[in-house]
């Protein structure tokens, strides 16, 4: 009889522990759910308006800058070559 009483008390403790863990898991789930809703709200913002507010470059503007920089480099190299040919080379 005492053995059954001990088993019942052990089961009661296990049940209380499981109930506590379930309550903690539910609280964590609600917290994560709130964070997820906040992140969904951020993701729902128009990406273009966010890009403008943060002044982030678009892919087009990045490639435009790269092409312009390349062309400027080619032109400056050609100018430097002509300057060398006409001003420095004759004096060598």
Q: What is the pTM of this model?
A: 0.45
| Domain match, 1 and 35 both | yes
Residue 49 falls within a domain, yes or no? no
- What range does the domain containing 28 cover? 1-44
| Residue 5 covered by a domain | yes
- Give CA–CA dist 72/78, Å, rounded: 10
Residue 50 within a domain: no
Q: Are residues 39 and 69 in the same domain?
A: no
Per-residue pLDDT, 69 = 98
pLDDT tens-digit series, residues 1-59: 888 888 888 889 989 999 999 999 998 998 898 888 888 877 777 777 777 888 888 88
Number of domains in the chain: 2
Residue 63 scores a pLDDT above 80: yes
Query: 22 in a domain, yes or no?
Result: yes
């Amino acid at each position: 009889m005492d053995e059954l009483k001990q088993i019942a008390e052990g089961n009661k403790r296990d049940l209380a522990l499981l109930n506590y863990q379930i309550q903690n898991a539910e609280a964590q789930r609600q917290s994560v759910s709130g964070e997820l809703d906040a992140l969904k709200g951020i993701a729902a913002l128009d990406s273009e308006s966010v890009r403008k507010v943060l002044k982030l470059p678009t892919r087009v503007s990045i490639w435009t800058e790269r092409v312009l920089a390349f062309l400027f480099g080619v032109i400056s190299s050609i100018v430097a070559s002509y300057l060398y040919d006409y001003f420095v080379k004759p004096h060598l």
